Structure 1
């Protein structure tokens, strides 16, 4: 694809640096959604007769994109629903390691149950803090975001793989919502037990759809309690007691899950090599410039590799100034969060820097 910005009309109006809050709707996904609902309008239940085939195609598409067998892919409406369903399938005597101030839908969901909870601090030495917590607390479960939603601090996959090899019996559950779609990701090669994500951010899949990827042994440690008629309906769920079916007890929306499939198809046409290169380049340029302007926390400056999410120093006045210049960003934590995806460019970074200076 020559023009990476063309599928996203919002970019014609705004300097959109807010994918970490909400990804953009592409023309391809918009066209699919219109055609889908037009089919529903004129054919009613005839469209729904194709539901099994549509959802199987989505499951297979997700599995192919992230290298996970489709019979280990659960389709859920959002991250929080899937994660809470998963937690209900864990023994309450388990000790769970969390990261302090991680995404609330992780930490609140765990702390609201009667698990033993221990924590590691998020700072410039995050990996060392986690390793020390493993040695001190000996957790049964490690639940975490791959990329932090406020600071953009990103965990090293080399570290995670090594930590998993050293602790094979610990269940590693990762939230990939702020990560998947920014670079190539091979789930089966990652060593993680579970990765789950909503897709409305970096995958540009729209709202109302998410997925969970399980490795081959995860079902031995998780016993979800949910069940319903849809738990046994469709390809990959046709037998009693099916594991992924426990995460899919009710009706699933072919409009929303179909949107995810179209969004993944677009990313494949762009090429994840291209996406990864552009995102990494913009993140490196942005970090360098933000350091010059003294806008970043010391814990972020110290990190060798960083995600495309940055929380820069700024108050209400600066935020309103940026919005007044049609620069779309978010107020998070004590600063202003900006984020760069593959459809952004150096000119937009310069536009932001000019406003900041």
Structure 2
């Protein structure tokens, strides 16, 4: 298989010694991203704190993320994690007398459901949309979202099995019922094209350390422009105010747009990393990245079956990503044994996950699947 991104591989030093297939947990670090981290450190060492430069970098990172998802920069806020973004929305949803239900799915990352379960306001008005074999049919949204649903929370891609949802179709159902749509795009942003306007997404959150090639500590929150003014954030801080540098104790006006959801001083080192990572991703182009990764996914499904492995989730590339999950009761142990072979994967409960990015090759996936098959079929005692 031709590798259209071969020239990019030299930007990821870990690939010279390891097979890195753990993008669903944390991507390989690129030299431009490492360089941006060094730029931040060097600026502090040589020139001290420079607020003007830091705020400029923050705006540059926001602008690049807005381009990645087809939004406007003013619709983007910076937070520290997707959990923080979901929590900020959860405690700030506008009161609507006849809408007091939150719907989320059983394929959401557990932390998302846990946040909704922790909200006293909605504790008796939660609807869990159940899937079958880790996948959800559109009919389930039709059935379980009602005219009392205030917000519906869904993952774009399942962290567990790579199942990819059709957000545009879900948005149509959700909005017909009068609900808002919140999308967790942590497992999609960076390798799957997203256009929040075309998909009609109301709110979206994504962190930078996985497919977006960044580091922990930085996440972006998108809120549709016409919605942001309806929210009165309960989690707040000086960056969420309209005059943060006025230092006026009694002034508490919110900033315009999504910025009102920002809190305290962000992780600027994370924003330096995010800016460089997003520049790299935009250059590589998510549309082309997805096309290449679909070829890898098709090969992974075929080769995994040939090796007698049980791959869970969708069995075609129609509604899945290149994240391939192989069932094993000893997934964590297999992950450790693969690490000894310089193969980086990621286990979750009873699956070992192979998650390539555009820098990976078919040969790396083939070698990894062969190694997993050898371990699972007893050619090496686990």
With normalisation by structure 1, the TM-score equals 0.90
Q: What RMSD, in angstroms, separates the aligned Cα atoms of the two structures?
A: 2.6
Which of 324, 338, 341 in structure 2 is aligned with 1:325?
341
Structure 1 runs of 4+ off > 6 angstroms? Answer: none
Distance 2:310 2:231 in 1: 40
CA distance in 2, matches of 1:272, 1:150: 22
2:112 matched to which residue of 1? 106
Aligned pair 1:166/2:176, yes or no?
A: yes
* 1:143 and 2:153 are equivalent in the alignment: yes
> Are the counterparts in 2 of residues 176 and 195 from structure 1 also a CA contact under 8 Å?
yes
Aligned length: 353
Q: 2:73 maps to which residue?
A: 70
Gaps of 5+ in 1: none
- Report deviation, 1:303: 7.7
Q: 1:145 to 1:10 in 2, by over 3 A?
A: same
- Quick one: distance in 1 between partners of 2:302 and 2:51? 51
Task: Point out the more displaced range, 293-302 or 174-183.
Answer: 293-302
Taking the aligned partners of 1:301 and 1:184, their CA distance within structure 2 comes to 21
C-alpha displacement of 1:221: 4.6
Cα distance in 2 between the residues matched to 1:299 and 1:57: 37
Equivalent residue for 1:44, pick from 25, 48, 51: 48
Partner of 1:153: helix, strand, or coil?
A: coil
Measured in 2, the distance between the counterparts of 1:91 and 1:121 equals: 26
Report what 1:32 is aligned to. 36
Distance 1:336 1:234, change over 3 A: farther
Listed one character per residue, the Cα deviations across residues 130-189 of structure 1 (whole Å, up to 9, x for unaligned) are: 222125x8522101211111111111234224324533x211001000011112211221
Cα offset for 1:345? 0.8
Partner of 1:352, secondary structure, is helix
Aligned counterpart in structure 2 of residue 249 of structure 1, from 257, 260, 263: 263
Change (3 A) 1:57 1:299: closer
Does residue 96 in structure 1 map to residue 102 in structure 2?
yes
Q: Which residue of 2 aligns with 1:274?
A: 288
Which residue pairs with 1:347 in the alignment?
363
Cα distance in 2 for partners of 1:18, 1:104 equals 19
When normalised by structure 2's length, the TM-score is 0.85
2:199 match: 190
Contact 2:163–2:321 (CA<8 Å) still a contact in 1? yes
Going from structure 1 to structure 2, the CA distance change for 1:234 and 1:39 (only over 3 Å counts) comes to: farther
